[in-house]
Amino acid sequence: MPDKRRYPIPTRKYPPRRAIPQLVVRRDLRHNVGAMAGLVFLVMLVLAAALAPFLTPYDPLTTRPANQLQPPSHYHWAGTDLFGRDVFSRLLYGARISLLVGVLAVTIAAIPGTLLGLLAGYYEGWIDIIISRLIEILQAFPGILLALSIVALLGSGLPNVILAVGIASIPSYTRLVRSSVLTVKRKLFIRAARIVGCRDSRILFRHILPNVLAPVIVLTTLDIAWAILNASALNFLGLGVELGTPEWGVMLSEGRGYLRDAPWVSVAPGLMLTLTVLAINLLGDGLRDSLDPRWRA
Amino acid sequence: MIQYIGKRLLSALPVLWGVTTLVFLAIHLVPGDPAEVILAQSGGSSEALEQLRARLGLDAPLLVQYVRFLSNTLRGDLGRSLFTNRPVVQTIGEQLPHTVQLALAAMAVAIVVGGALGSAAAIKRGSWLDNLCMTLAVVGVSTPVFWSALLFILLFTTTLHWLPATGQGSLRHLIMPALVLGLASSGTIARLVRSSLLEVLSQEYITVARSKGLSERTLLLRHALRNALIPTITVIGLQFSFLLGGAVVTETVFSRQGMGRLIVDAILWKDFPVIQGVVLLSAVLYTLVNLAVDISYAFLDPRIRHE
Amino acid sequence: MRFKNIVFSAIGLGLSLLLTACPAQPAISPATPAAPTAGGKLIYGLTLAPSGIDPHVNASSELGIPLTSVYDTLVYQTADGDFVPGLATEWEISDNGLVYTFHLRQDVTFHDGTPFNAEAVKFNLNRIADPETKSQKAALMLGPYDHCDVVDEYTVKVFFREPYAPFLDSLSQVYLGMASPTALEKWGADYQMHQVGTGPFMFKEYVPQDHLTLVRNPDYNWAPAIFNHQGPAYLDEIEFRFFVDPATRALALEAGEAHVIGEIPPQDAARLEDNPAFKIVAVPIPGQPLQAFLNTTKSPTDDLRVRQALLYATDREAIVQAIFREYSPVAWGPLSAVTWGYNEAVVGQYKYDPARARELLDEAGWQDTDGDGIREKDGQRLVVAAYLMSWGYIPEVATLLQSQWKEVGVDVRSQQVAYPAALEAARLGKHNLILFNLAGSDPDLLRGFFHSEANFNWAKVNDPQLDALLEEGARLRDQAERQAIYADIQEKIMEQALIIPLRDYVNLNGVSAQVQDLRYDAQGWFPWLYDVWLSRSGD
């Protein structure tokens, strides 16, 4: 949070633009082993996902029933599944899906969630009441239940899963932003901006938003992990992607019946999922620590 | 204070109404006709379908069904399941204890494991133990329940033959699901315990107590931990929502009965009265937990009360 | 690749023919002496928790598994499709087929002491037909039922509005089982928790989703001749438990959590068979095989050539071999091979022939013009919209269909849907393809799927000739005439390529070697637990 004493109002006409400096990642993120490990893993994962066709000779969709449930070998690094598909190449292509789901779902959640939070916190009054009630209604459903209901409502399929997971995490952004705005708007420099006649929209987006953005960025990072987990949970429950899609949750679920004879079919995607989510969480924790030293572990 | 509680309770009413209305609308907009599902099991003509629809009250206009539903709900009658023809209240009453049992057991696991990791980390702050505990916590947070469940089954059932993979009824049936669900939530609790313990340990009264020569052990158990637990407990209350959600997956993987399974099946089969009942219950519980959290905050922080 | 497929086809075909020829029960003779011993408690695993268990009201097949032992039926059906006496000692059918007269056993009492008589039969049938009962299945099985007349204490006449050939088949099933009128009146809507029949076992307790317990009826002395013995049942008690997750069923069986569990996944069945402590009782189920309905009103499956091409492009042997292993026969027509009225003429039709499939698609004007491997016509890609439910290996089968059809240039767009959404999509005709199967011992079940006005007319067929045949099949009394009609119907369905039959449904029951003399009824689903006994040697 800004230190008021550093911004003596009388000497400046406008409050300083403070968006960028606060967002610059502090140097000590580089010394955070966990966050760096997470970052390295994620970079490798993104590369692997992008270069998947060059890293594996097998198409992730082509079935070879005669070659079913082969254990990991020189040819099939992670074995084959019930349909004789190469599990390793499905893992690589699956990374594309999970990363896409994470990023899109969080975009769907963060933008409206932040806007609603800004409005509710800034205007208070009846706008706040309506928004807060809406958010409470959404929150009255446990996260995955809400996502489940939305998928049931819209039908299955990856876009709907992304939407469902996104909508389910809107409330956390709204709540976070609303409470930050309530604090920030009482600060002297906001009052000053109002006194000098700034329009609401300018105050909201130029002065308040940058000041509440840091926690939002941390939440966004951690939320990507949550979104990936929840989307694969939905897929695991059989509500998600189209047939054959190499999504990790689906792969895990497909392999469940063959746990004894072919554990690799479900263990491998679970491991990838855990590692990816772990990497994002480590990076998110590191970001949080370096963006706001008060939260530092 | 009473006034504050009253105000909060009053403000919960529109939320409950909103939730029920939203659910009512949502499930009636979902494609799929329960009468058709029922008939599908035997095959049948279109007139049979119409008859069945009329019998189930599904042929009335949406508004009529809504008013009927609201007035029944207010009278405490949640209707009968379309498929089992048994009262929804009774069905929930049967399933709720199973989920509560699982959630309590999981919570116990989470508090013990999370509390131990969190306090160890806080006491040995900055040491390798701190790092280890916090790494374990983040691993716990990152592991999907359905994967850890699978690994547990692979280890304890397929390989060691120690524990049954599915079902319920005995303590042995409860161990794996409670561990899986509890460990998933222990990471969150460990981090929370650590940070609130650190905050408490930096307070002046602790320094005073320490300067008076209290042993570190007494200090920790009598003063620090107790105070650090207050914020933790409120968050544990909020973990209820997480646990109910986690129960959906856990109950599915371990074939346990309970609210999670009840709601998933009801959604898939469009058993309107059951969905409405479960959602209403979950909303009421959520509102109550939230209320409890707010009130405890109000106790802790007088500023909120007067705002 | 091609070569391997051919080898597998041959193996699959050989095995499936072998299975078709085999009797329902594999002859696993235990080393123990065959003299049954009384006593013991059997734990029987069900595969889904039925939504409701009143046989007159609810429709699930699962409820029949326990309740077949609680209720006696008026008639019983043999494996050959003949009807033999049960609670009715004999019966006559009027020449116009509208009146059935039943002569009843005079020595039967319900578990609550209520005597069984003509009034009881009348009470039961009227209860089923009463709209207030909200019957989901039994009322439909009763067909055009009109009313019942009590002639004397042990003679009852049943009247129909029009002739209804499947009536005896219906009567032989637990859904039309005879329940105590006293108990029905006493419990009303809550009867399902307090069921009272005349069968060899008495309903003790039902805790939904948890267990259902039956105890031996010590007074049972009216076993139909179709059973192996007379007098009370051997088992003291039967407890039914639920094992809804296929992936862990075999684990539960091996852990001793149950003596019998149905629908064991094929890969686990193979392992259990290698274990001397277990056996697999594989029961072929009469009715429909797992099949894909092809929508004849939505492009591209509105073109007969496309539908036929899809049939030729489907390598059923490979599918069955990969997913169902050696346990399921390949299906060729709309009825499974063990169904009464099955027409063997369908066998071998549309054998896997991708070259023929390509020819037909070419003829129909579908060509791959842009070289992406998928054919086009008038700018439209050859895409088949599939609606898939999650059970019964439907997603697995569809995965292989998708890759097999891709070989001939057909793309499958699938949507995984819950059952209600699938039914709605199918009714509205949004699908090209939907996979489904329904069990039943009378071929009249085809009427519910292929009659133009049928609720489940998922092929969207509208063929007056087929309608007339299906209606006549339900009316005719002469079994030979019926058989001829259904043979015709099956050929018509395949001529028009309305469905892609995939595999005959076989219920793989995993059974502890301790369990002796376990047999299933003509429906294939319902065990006759009256004759079952537990050998001590397995302990």
| pLDDT tens-digit series, residues C295-349 | 999 999 999 999 999 999 999 999 999 999 989 999 999 999 999 999 999 999 9
C47 CA to chain A: closest CA distance, Å? Answer: 15
Exposed / middle / buried, residue B296 (Cβ in 10 Å: 0-12, 13-18, 19+): middle
Domain end (from B35, B67, B88): B88
Assess whether pLDDT exceeds 70 at residue C520: yes
Residues B25 and B147 reside in one and the same domain:
no
Find, in chain C, the residue whose alpha carbon is nearest to that of B50.
Answer: C455
C68: nearest Cα among C188, C186, C184, C226: C226
* Partner residue facing A157 (CB), from C318, C323, C415: C415
Task: Please state the rounded mean pLDDT for residues C249-274.
Answer: 92
In a domain, B307, yes or no: no
Q: Find chain C residues with C-beta within 8 A of B165's C-beta.
A: 248, 251-252, 255
In a domain, B126, yes or no: yes
In a domain, B6, yes or no: no
Task: Please state the rounded mean pLDDT for residues C133-147.
Answer: 89
Question: What percent of chain B shows pLDDT beyond 90?
Answer: 12
Per-residue pLDDT tens digits for C24-48: 444 444 444 568 899 899 999 999 8
Task: Please state the rounded mean pLDDT for residues A92-110.
Answer: 94
Q: How many CB pairs under 8 A join B and C?
A: 143
Residues B83 and B101 reside in one and the same domain:
no
Residues B125 and B257 reside in one and the same domain:
yes
Domain end (from B26, B56, B88): B88
pLDDT greater at residue C173 or residue C454 = C173
pLDDT greater at residue A107 or residue B61 = A107
In whole angstroms, give the CA distance from residue B177 to residue A175: 32
* CATH assignment of the domain containing B229: 1.10.3720.10
SS3 C274: coil
Q: Is the ipTM of this complex over 0.90?
A: no
Q: Do A229 and B252 touch (CB under 8 A)?
A: no
Residues B233 and B123 reside in one and the same domain:
yes
Residues B152 and B292 reside in one and the same domain:
yes
* Chain C: residues touching A (Cβ < 8 Å): 1, 4-5, 8, 246-247, 265, 267-268, 271, 318-319, 321-323, 386, 388, 390, 395-396, 398-400, 402-403, 412-418, 421
State residue B40's pLDDT score. 63
In a domain, B172, yes or no: yes
The total number of structural domains that make up chain B: 2
Cβ B89 vs Cβ B78: under 8 Å: yes
Find, in chain B, the residue whose alpha carbon is nearest to that of A237.
Answer: B249
Burial A97-111 (b: 16+ CB within 10 A, else e): bbbebbebbbebbbe
pLDDT greater at residue B289 or residue B124 = B124
In whole angstroms, give the CA distance from residue C446 to residue C493: 10
Per-residue pLDDT tens digits for A153-162: 777 788 888 9
In a domain, B251, yes or no: yes
Residues B188 and B271 reside in one and the same domain:
yes
- In chain A, positions 125-144, which contact chain B (CB-CB < 8 Å)? 133-134, 136-137, 139-144
Q: Do B249 and A233 touch (CB under 8 A)?
A: yes
Domain end (from B53, B88, B123): B88
Q: Do B146 and A236 touch (CB under 8 A)?
A: yes
Cβ A223 vs Cβ A108: under 8 Å: no
- In chain B, positions 28-57, which contact chain A (CB-CB < 8 Å)? 29-31
Residues B176 and B53 reside in one and the same domain:
no
Cβ C538 vs Cβ C512: under 8 Å: yes
Q: Does C210 touch chain B (CB under 8 A)?
A: yes
Residues B107 and B68 reside in one and the same domain:
no
Q: Do C454 and B158 touch (CB under 8 A)?
A: no
- In chain C, positions 403-432, which contact chain B (CB-CB < 8 Å)? 418-421, 423-425, 427
* Partner residue facing B55 (CB), from C58, C131, C423: C131
Give me the amino acid identity at A198: C
In whole angstroms, give the CA distance from residue C16 to residue B28: 45
Which domains are seen in chain A, by residue range? 75-290 (1.10.3720.10)
- Token readout for A142 is 């446990």
Which domains are seen in chain C, by residue range? 1-19+39-47+200-285+505-539 (3.40.190.10), 71-187 (3.90.76.10), 287-503 (3.10.105.10)
- Token readout for B56 is 């189930």
Q: Do B43 and C60 touch (CB under 8 A)?
A: no
Cβ C53 vs Cβ C67: under 8 Å: yes
In a domain, B109, yes or no: yes
- Token readout for A257 is 């019946």
Write out the residue range of the structural domain in which residue B294 sits: 97-300
Q: Find chain C residues with C-beta within 8 A of B30's C-beta.
A: 420-421
Residues B197 and B63 reside in one and the same domain:
no
B287: nearest Cα among B76, B32, B11, B59: B11
- Token readout for A220 is 């966004």
In a domain, B170, yes or no: yes
User: How many helices and strands (H and E) does chain C possess?
Assistant: 16, 24
Q: Do A238 and C267 touch (CB under 8 A)?
A: no
SS3 annotation, chain B: CHHHHHHHHHHHHHHHHHHHHHHHHHHHHCCCCHHHHHHHCCCCEHHHHHHHHHHHCCCCCHHHHHHHHHHHHHCCCCCECCCCCCEHHHHHHHHHHHHHHHHHHHHHHHHHHHHHHHHHHHHCCCCHHHHHHHHHHHHHHHCCHHHHHHHHHHHHHHHCCCCCCCCCCCHHHHHHHHHHHHHHHHHHHHHHHHHHHHHHHCCHHHHHHHHCCCCHHHHHHHHHHHHHHHHHHHHHHHHHHHHHHHHHHHHHHCCCCCHHHHHHHHHHHCCHHHHHHHHHHHHHHHHHHHHHHHHHHHHHCHHHHHC
In whole angstroms, give the CA distance from residue C449 to residue C462: 11
Assess whether pLDDT exceeds 50 at residue C1: no
In a domain, B11, yes or no: no
Q: Find chain B residues with C-beta within 8 A of A153's C-beta.
A: 26-27, 29-30
* Partner residue facing C136 (CB), from B30, B42, B161: B42
Q: What is the DSSP string of A41-80?
A: HHHHHHHHHHTHHHH-SS-SS---GGGTTPPS-SSSTT-B
Region for residue C437 given its phi and psi (left: phi exceeds 0; alpha: psi -120 to 50; beta: otherwise): beta
Helices within C22-86 (DSSP H only): 61-67
Q: Give which of B27, B150, B249, B251 to mutate to test A binding, by max A Cβ within 10 Å.
A: B150
Residues B157 and B243 reside in one and the same domain:
yes
Task: Please state the rounded mean pLDDT for residues B31-35.
Answer: 74
Residues B78 and B213 reside in one and the same domain:
no
pLDDT greater at residue C254 or residue A290 = C254
- In chain B, positions 133-162, which contact chain A (CB-CB < 8 Å)? 134-135, 138-139, 141-147, 150-151, 153-154, 158
Q: Find chain C residues with C-beta within 8 A of A242's C-beta.
A: 413-416
